[in-house]
Structures are given as structure tokens and as C-alpha cells.
Amino acid sequence: MPASTSNPLIRALAAGLLILASAGCASNTVVSPSAPDESVLAPAEQALAKARAAEADTFAPRVVDASRRRIATARDILYSAARANRELSDTERARVEALVEAAELDARSALTQTQAKAVQTKLAELQGQLDGSGAAQTEASP
């Protein structure tokens, strides 16, 4: 047998290196964070979906965007805590709640603005019809 493999010191070093190498591999394992509970975002997401279904993207795009940004920021806070594998702090929880409330209000505002534009459009249409029929009556009676 060669001298290098029969030496107890070399065997001990080799065993130590093997242990360190396997420990190093084990510490490199990625632990996936738990998924955060996004149910807190639901009221704002539902209000935004309702506004978008009423075409608020067309009639109130800035307010819709504000709502989306607030929801995205709240979601980022939730996922940031999840990536760190921890619960939300009281400050983070309060911030998420405030963002969700503001996003919901933005979405409701967008819906209201969209509905108001629809009413204005219909009113202008009816006014045009009335003006047209009134002009026809005026022309018919000399």
C-alpha cells in the first residue's frame, strides 16, 4: 500500500475534508419561503376588477393605475416578509391594510367616474335627440 493512504493523518484530513464538503453542500440548499396570505388584498382586487369590467381603464386610467400600484406595493410587502421567512411586523401589517383600503377607494372612485361619464354621454345623447325633435317641430310650424 502506498505511504500516502496508510498514513492516519492523511486519512483523518481526507475524512475531515469530506465532512466539510458535505456540510458545505447542505448549507447551499435553498429553502423556499412560504407563500404569504394574499386574502388581505381581496377587497381591493375585487373593487378593481369591478371598475375594470365597467371600462374604468378608459374613463379613469390614472385612478385605476393608482389602485394597481397600491395593490402591488402591498403584495411586495407580503412577499418580502415571506422571503425572509417571517411574519409581518405591526408596522408592515398597518401599511398593508392602509394600502388595501386606499386601493379599494381608488377603484371605487374609478368606477364612480366611469359611471358618471356614462351618464353624461347618455344625457348628451338624449339632449341631442330632444334638440333635433324640437328643431323639426319648429320648422314644421310656421
For the chain, the maximum distance between any two Cα atoms, rounded to a whole number of angstroms, is 129
Q: Which residues are CB-contacts of 29 (< 8 A; sequence separation ≥ 6)?
A: none
Note the pLDDT tens digit of each residue in 108-125. Answer: 999 999 999 999 999 999
Contact by Cβ (8 Å): 71, 51: no
Identify the pLDDT of residue 79. 97
Identify the pLDDT of residue 140. 54
Tell me how far apart the alpha carbons of residues 58 and 64 are, in angstroms, rounded to a whole number: 9
Identify the pLDDT of residue 107. 98
Identify the pLDDT of residue 46. 98
Averaged in consecutive runs of 10 residues, what is the pLDDT profile of the chain (142 residues)? 60 67 55 80 98 95 98 98 95 98 98 94 91 63 54
